[in-house]
Structure 1
Amino acid sequence: MHRKLRLRKREDFNTVYRYGKSFANSQFVVYWRRRAKKGSFRMGVSASSKLGGAVVRNRLRRMVKEIVRLNAGKLLEDIDLILIVRKPALALAYKEMEGSILHVLRKAGLLIGSKPNPSGSRPASGRGNRPAQRKDK
């Protein structure tokens, strides 16, 4: 993936997490947000240390970036997206991983011609969406 197409700064990641939307399947979570700047999409990959050592995490990140690079023509432009790798992705072969990534991107409506699944949408922050508690007296 070309250097210009990567999310690299912490503030960029935090902006997408705070103001974006999220969709998930069992292997990946995608957070995304529209950008005001015109141009191609930018992507970041997050792999927790709970997945394994640096070798394992870096291999997963490389595979995810390569899958997105090869399918870049199918993605919408003017978006920032973050793909978070979950533990079940460790057991996937390359083709299965590609299918899972395309599934979560299609679910989010980020592939050209796809529409977001309204049942899977929620604000990315996840805070403040709880209904008020009733007080019974």
Structure 2
Amino acid sequence: MKKSQRIKKNKEFQTVFKKGKSFANRQFIVYTYKKEDQQEFRIGLSVSKKVGNAVTRNRIKRYIRQSFLEMNDEIKPDLDYVIIARNQAATLDFHTAKKNLRHVLKIAKVFK
């Protein structure tokens, strides 16, 4: 995943939280915010310390990034996404995490 596809700044996170729409399942909360002039989607990740230690949190973030990379062609490019991992996400393996992420993105109607 390219650096240009990541949301890093707090101001950008706050914009997505305030102006975007949220969708959730038991493992993930996804905020989406439409930006008309954008060529490719951007994602921001948030995994709280309550979810687990640093190793667990980084594993969850890797799983989310890899899932987005694999679903790259199916996802609408004119959106910003902020994904928040809930406690149940700590117990997932990659394939289950991808399936649950796909489920919440399907609820959000972000597939082409």
How would you bin the TM-score normalised by the shorter chain?
over 0.9
Q: Given residue 50 of structure 1, which amino acid in structure 2 is its aligned partner?
A: K
Q: What is the Cα-based RMSD across aligned positions, in Å?
A: 0.9
Deviation at 1:78, TM superposition (A): 0.9
Residue correspondences, number = 112
Quote the Cα distance in structure 1 between the aligned partners of 2:90 and 2:12: 27
Q: Which residue of 2 is the match for residue 135 of structure 1?
A: none
Structure 2: stretches of 5+ with no match in the other structure: none
Q: Which residue of 2 is the match for residue 132 of structure 1?
A: none
Q: Which residue of 2 is the match for residue 77 of structure 1?
A: 77
Mapping 1:1-137, distance limit 5 Å:
1-112=1-112
Deviation at 1:38, TM superposition (A): 2.6
Quote the Cα distance in structure 2 between the aligned partners of 1:24 and 1:13: 17
Deviation at 1:59, TM superposition (A): 1.3
Deviation >2 Å, runs of 4+: none
Q: Which residue of 2 is the match for residue 115 of structure 1?
A: none
Query: Does the 8 A contact of 2:20 with 2:32 survive in 1?
Result: yes
TM-score (norm 2): 0.96
